[in-house]
Amino acid sequence: MTESNVTLPIPSDTETLFVALGGLGEIGMNLALYGHAGKWIAVDMGVTFGDEDTPGVDIIVPDISVLTALGDKLAGVLITHAHEDHIGAVPYLAGRFKCPVYCSPFAATFLRRKLEDDGGSAGKKVKIVEIPSGGRKKIGPFEVELIGMPHSVPEAHLTALRSAAGMVVHSGDWKLDPGPVVGKPADEKRLAALGKEGVAALVCDSTNALREGWTRSESELGEPITDLIRSRDRRVLFACFSSNVARLNTIALAAKAAGRQVGLVGRSLWRMHDVASAHGYLKGLPPFLKENELGQLPANKIVAICTGSQGEPRAALHRISDAQHRHIQVEAGDTVVFSSRDIPGNEKAIGRLQNKLVAMHVDVVTDGTAKVHVSGHPARDELKHLYSLLKPARLLPAHGEGRHLHGHAIFGRECGIPEVRVAFNGDVIRLAGGDYEELTKVKVGRVGMDGDVKIALDGDALRERRLMRLDGIAMITVILDGKGNLAADSMVTLSGLEAAADEDLLEAAEIAVDEAVEDLSQKARRDDAPVEDAARSALRRVLRKQTGKRPRISVHVARV
């Protein structure tokens, strides 16, 4: 087995190959590549989000060097549904591939809005080709069929990829909800027809593969959420994923039944509202109020749906908790409902936000204390039922952390699937048309979006930010005349350190810096580099002795 930095093997016309650049061994940033007859197609292109280890980085996208190296061998990008972890990276990476993007009409409208907001000039050049639910399309060497599946966003799809090597099924995100609030139940007859045709391999969602039973239906939430709203006599705020159109529907109807008006707080919620409304998915609901309209209502008449269920620092709920929102506030006696699950890695941020709200005497309700959320992913009984319909010869668990993938693999074997493998990002696997094996590895990575600029997550900039966060920053200004002599006392400032206001420490540090510079020869003082080194070393010694900290030190030499 070999390992390559950016080169994928050329698939033959008798095999289908697979590699993930994101989504295997993690939840989020889904991007899979399928290859056949010398060509490849990408399925999904999602983002994940920054955390404490990536200060200043909100969005993280996959490194697509492997994909861009394919050139015209990349036939297309197929999007399974309009969730950020499946579609969100397209605007940021649009300038790096030339092929069309294929998706359902709903996802296409959502993507066009995102490209307008986030894609810049590159986004305007993206060719979007719509495939309706149940439709088929030839993309490179594959004939692709989209089969609608219940999920929390409209038009989520299981995808059948047919080729001369056999049919491979990519499940996407799904559940077998018999009573979905948005969209239709799964077409089990069509799924069974795929099974009769013959499924060589199934690449399948593993998010809830460790959970027994059947995932609850979204329709089960209406009554408990209505009762919860009725039981409160002040504001009720719901935090949920902006893409959860089904939940917007459920909360809006519950608010109406409880005699309240409902509004949306957060730009991404309004974007999803507009897209869903344009495609007829929010019919029969009371109109959603804008933020300023909500702010004019009595507290006992308000239901607000907010962004920020994952503790995101720039989201609406975080600003509300900091009393920084122009129109919406929370006070003692209000209720905030977290109508979502915690994405792995976000637990600390969510906990901090919830604790802040509790300290304000706000009642915090979660799925652990009330029926306020159902998952959009299949538990074990649903997985087993899908296996019985599709009858796959091979199973590759996807969309999950390592524990989910391994648990899914064990369960798949127990259900009698003949061949099961666990793969991670970068593993190139032959799915069909030969032995089910790992052929090679390719290097995968991720890139942070620092505003509009891409930033390496293992680069110097983030490394320095982490050091600054841990130990603070020290800045020195050394002022020299034309001959290299000190023209004034050096100045030291500290940031992010308790000692920043300690005048005695600052004076001792400035004296140490001046002495170190004066100890240099006059020739050395005419060169900035030795002056910077001497000043930095002197300050580091003083701070280490007096504070035990090792801050990032910046030296500025000014010559007058």
Could you tell me which of 402, 524, 526, 449 has the C-alpha nearest to residue 60? 449
| The predicted structure's pLDDT at residue 2 | 45
Which one has a higher pLDDT value, 438 or 49?
438
- Residue 440: CA count within 13 A, CB half-sphere: 14
- C-alpha 365/C-alpha 362 separation (Å) is 10
Please state the rounded mean pLDDT for residues 47-62: 74
pLDDT tens readout for residues 19-46: 999 999 998 899 999 999 999 999 999 9
Q: Contact, 432 vs 16, CB < 8 A?
A: yes
Confidence at residue 400, expressed as pLDDT on a 0 to 100 scale:
95
Asked if 52 and 77 count as a contact pair (C-beta separation under 8 A), the reply is no
Residue 485: is its pLDDT beyond 80? Answer: yes
Residues belonging to the chain: 560
DSSP states along 489-503? --EEEEESSGGGG-H
In the predicted model, is pLDDT for residue 79 greater than 50? yes
Count Cβ atoms below 10 Å from residue 222 Cβ, excluding itself. Answer: 16
pLDDT in the model for residue 508: 87
What does the pLDDT read at residue 120?
Answer: 67
pLDDT of residue 461: 65
* Cα 271 → chain centroid: 17
Q: Express each pLDDT in 187-222 by its tens digit.
A: 999 999 999 999 999 999 999 999 999 999 999 999
Q: Average pLDDT over the chain, rounded to whole?
A: 91
Percent of the chain with pLDDT over 70: 92
pLDDT at 226 over 80: yes
Tens of pLDDT, residues 307-324 = 999 998 889 999 999 999
pLDDT above 50 (res 302): yes
Task: Calculate mean pLDDT across residues 152-181.
Answer: 96
Spatial CB neighbours of 322, under 8 Å, sequence gap ≥ 6? none
User: Cβ distance 379 to 211 under 8 Å?
Assistant: yes
Q: What CA–CA distance (Å, rounded) separates 300 from 260? A: 8
Per-residue pLDDT averaged across 99-128, rounded? 89
Over residues 414-430, the mean pLDDT reads 98
Q: What percent of the chain has pLDDT over 90?
A: 74
pLDDT digits (tens, 9 = 90+) for 351-397: 999 999 999 999 999 998 999 999 999 999 999 999 999 999 999 99
pLDDT at residue 544, rounded to an integer: 85
Residue carrying the six token digits 């989201």: 315
Give all domains of the chain, ordered by start, each with its CATH number. Answer: 2-213+375-456 (3.60.15.10), 218-365 (3.40.50.10710), 472-559 (3.10.20.580)
Average pLDDT over residues 290-297: 93
Res. 1: pLDDT tops 50: no
Per residue in 521-552, pLDDT tens?
988 998 999 999 999 999 889 888 888 877 88
The string of pLDDT tens digits covering residues 240-289 is 999 999 999 999 999 999 999 999 999 999 999 999 999 999 999 999 99
Relative to beta strand 48-49, strand 59-62 is antiparallel
DSSP 219: G
Please list, in sequence order, all residues whose beta carbon lies within 8 angstroms of the beta carbon of residue 392, skipping any fewer than 6 positions away: 169, 199, 200, 201, 202, 417
Confidence check: pLDDT of 80 > 50:
yes
**The predicted structure's pLDDT at residue 501:** 60
Local confidence band at 474 (pLDDT 50, 70, 90 cut-offs)? confident
Contact 115, 126 (CB under 8 A): yes
* Mean predicted confidence (pLDDT) in 494-503: 70
pLDDT at 72 exceeding the cut of 60? yes
